[in-house]
Amino acid sequence: MTFKAERLMEIETHLCSPLLQDQRHNRGVARKGPRRNGRASGSAPLQRVKRGWVWNQFFVLEEYTGLEPLYIGKLHSDMDEGDGSIKYILTGEGAGTTFTIDDSTGDIHAIQRLDREVKAQYVLRAQARNRLTDRPLEPESEFIVKIQDINDNEPKFLDGPYQATVPEMSKIGTSVIQLTATDADDPTYGNSARVVYSILEGQPYFSVDAKTGLVRVSLADMDRETKENYTVVIQAKDMGGQLGGLAGTTTINITLTDINDNPPMFDQSKKLMSVPESAPVGSVVGRIWAKDRDTGPNAEMKYSIIDGDGRDTFDISTDPTNLFGIITIKKPLNFENKPSYTLKVEGANIHLDPALRHRGPFKDVTIVHVSVEDVDEPPVFDSPAYYIELPEDAEIGTVVKTVSARDPDAPDNKLTRTALFSCGFYNSELMNIFSHCLLGYQSILNI
C-alpha cells in the first residue's frame, strides 16, 4: 500500500524547512517496504514496485479555514485496478471523527479544524480489503498525519506583570530581571516561535537583550531620591522580530532600592534654645533634627555633642523612631554662674557602605546655643538649720543669733538682718518661735 500525499508536493515546492528533511528521512524508511514482483496470491505479503514518492507520513497545515473538508492525502494499493473492488479502511487516532476516508478512492480528508498546538500528530492505520469478501489484501499499515505549524500564537509572558528591584546607582549593565516569553508554536520549524525582545517603554533607563530577554540597567547614576519607580514595557515578537510577526507585551514595575548615598543634613547651621535655670537634671532642653534623604537604615543616625562649652552640662540622645536628637540637662544650671552655653552637635549615619565612602562624610554638624533663663529664686540662708543655746533666764532683748540669707538672683546684694526675739518661753518652745521668725524673715526678703 502506498500513501500519496499530494499536499507534500506543495510543501516540497514552497517550503524549505526542517520538516522537509523529516520527510526525506521518512521517505527512506518507507522504501524499506517489500518490493512487488508480481501479483500476490493467497495471504502472502505483496511485493511492491519501488516508487519515487512513497510516504508513510502526511502533512497538513493546521487551522485550515476553508468550507470544504481539507484534503490530506490518498491511500492506494497497488492491487487497485480502479474498479471499486477494494475498500479502504481507516482506523486509529481521529479516524471517523477528525479524518474520513473515501473507501473507494482512498482519499483522506480532515473534517475538523486541526490545531497543532492541541495535537501535533495523529497515528492512523490503513487497511485495504476486498469489498466483497472483506479479506485483507495487504497487511495493515501505520502512518502518521503530522500537523504542520502556522504562526498563530503570539509570544506570551505568562508570569507578567512583573515586579523587580535594583539598587539605585547601579552600573550600566546590571541585571534587573530575566523575562521569558512563551510561544506555543513549533520551535523546530520556521520562525513561528523565534522570539525577539524589545523595549517599548522605559528607555533610556533600562534595556532588554533582544535574544535572551534579560533586562538590564542602561543609565548610570539612577538616583532613588530623585525617581524611585519605573514602568517598563517589554515586547516579545515572533518571526525573529520581522514585520508580520505576532507580538505580546508585558509590564515590569521596577523599584530602585535605597543605598546610603546621602549624608544627614541639618537645615540650620545654628539653633537657639533656652531653658530655665531651675529645670532639673534630665529635663529636655530641645530637639534637633537632621534630614537624611535616604530611607530605613540608611537614614538612621546618632547624634552626639562633639564640642562646645556645654559639653559637660548637656547630653544628647537619639529618638530611634523619629530620628530626633534630644538635648537634656546633665548637670544643674545656674544663670548667675553661666547664662549661656554652646554645643557643637553632630548627626552621623550609623550604617555606612564602604563602597560609597568616597561620597562621604556621612555626617553633619550644627551649633546649638542654649540660653539659661534667670528664675526669681527665694533667698537662701547661710545654713539650712541653726542650733542655738540660750540660758533659760535670758532677758528680753538679748541678741539670740545673727543669721544671714542671700538672694541668689542678686549675687552681690547679700542681705543681713538680725532676728531679735522676745523670749517668754523656754528651750524647745523657743526653738519653735525661732523657726517662725525665720519663716517671717524669708517672706520679708521675698518682698
* One-letter amino acid of 356: L
Task: Note whether 148 binds Ca ion by CB under 5 A.
Answer: no
Q: Which stretch binds Ca ion (CB under 5 A): 20-28, 114-122, 392-400, 417-425?
A: 114-122
Cα–Cα distance for residue pair 67/72, rounded to 1 Å: 15
- Contact range with Ca ion by CB under 5 A, out of 101-109, 237-245, 350-358, 427-435: 237-245
Identity of the residue, 31 or 227, whose beta carbon is nearer to Ca ion in the bound complex: 227
Spatial neighbors of 10 by CB under 8 A, at least 6 apart, are none
Interface region with Ca ion, contact rule CB under 5 A, candidates 109-117, 124-132, 389-397, 413-421 = 109-117
By CB under 5 A, the residues from 244 to 263 that bind Ca ion are: 258, 260-262
Q: Which is nearer to Ca ion, 138 or 183 (CB)?
A: 183
Of 54 and 236, the one with the shorter C-beta distance to Ca ion is 236
- Residue 21 CA from chain centroid, whole number: 47
Cell numbers of 51, please?
516508487
Q: Are 126 and 3 in contact (CB under 8 A)?
A: yes
Number of residues this chain uses to bind Ca ion (CB under 5 A): 17
| Least CB distance to Ca ion at residue 115 (A) | 8
Of the candidates 188, 183, 90, 97, the one whose C-alpha atom is nearest the C-alpha of residue 148 is 188
Cell 494499493 -> residue: 77
Per CB under 5 A, does 152 bind Ca ion?
A: yes
Minimum distance, C-beta of residue 351 to Ca ion, in the bound complex (Å): 8
In the set 78, 107, 138, 238, which binds Ca ion (CB under 5 A)?
238
Question: What binding mask, one character per residue, do residues 288-307 give for Ca ion by CB under 5 A, x or -?
Answer: ----x-x---x---------
Part in contact with Ca ion (CB under 5 A); list of ranges 33-41, 177-185, 227-235, 381-389 = 177-185
Closest separation in Å from C-beta 42 to Ca ion: 47
Phi, psi (deg, nearest 5) at residue 76: -150, 130
Instruction: Compute the distance between CA of residue 377 and CA of residue 6 in angstroms, rounded to an integer.
Output: 118
Shortest distance in whole angstroms from residue 221 CB to Ca ion: 12
277 binds Ca ion (CB under 5 A): no
Q: How far is the CB of 274 from Ca ion (least distance, A)?
A: 31
Of 5-13, 98-106, 179-187, 374-382, the segment contacting Ca ion by CB under 5 A is 179-187
Exactly one of 80, 107, 138, 185 binds Ca ion (CB under 5 A); that residue is: 185
Nearer to Ca ion, 78 or 149 (CB): 149
User: Within 10-29, which residues bind Ca ion (CB under 5 A)?
Assistant: none
CB of 238 to Ca ion, least distance (A): 4
- Residue from 100, 141, 192, 313 touching Ca ion (CB under 5 A): that is 192
**Ranges within 348-367 binding Ca ion (CB under 5 A):** 349
Selected binder of Ca ion within 78, 149, 277, 364 (CB under 5 A) = 149
**Least Å distance between CB 140 and Ca ion?**
31
Residues 51-70 that bind Ca ion (CB under 5 A): none
Tell which positions 153-172 bind Ca ion, by CB under 5 A.
153
**Candidate segments 116-124, 158-166, 326-334, 432-440, binder of Ca ion by CB under 5 A:** 116-124
Instruction: Return the residue of 183, 277, 346, 364 that touches Ca ion, per CB under 5 A.
Output: 183
Residue ranges binding Ca ion (CB under 5 A): 116, 149, 151-153, 183, 185, 192, 238, 258, 260-262, 292, 294, 298, 349
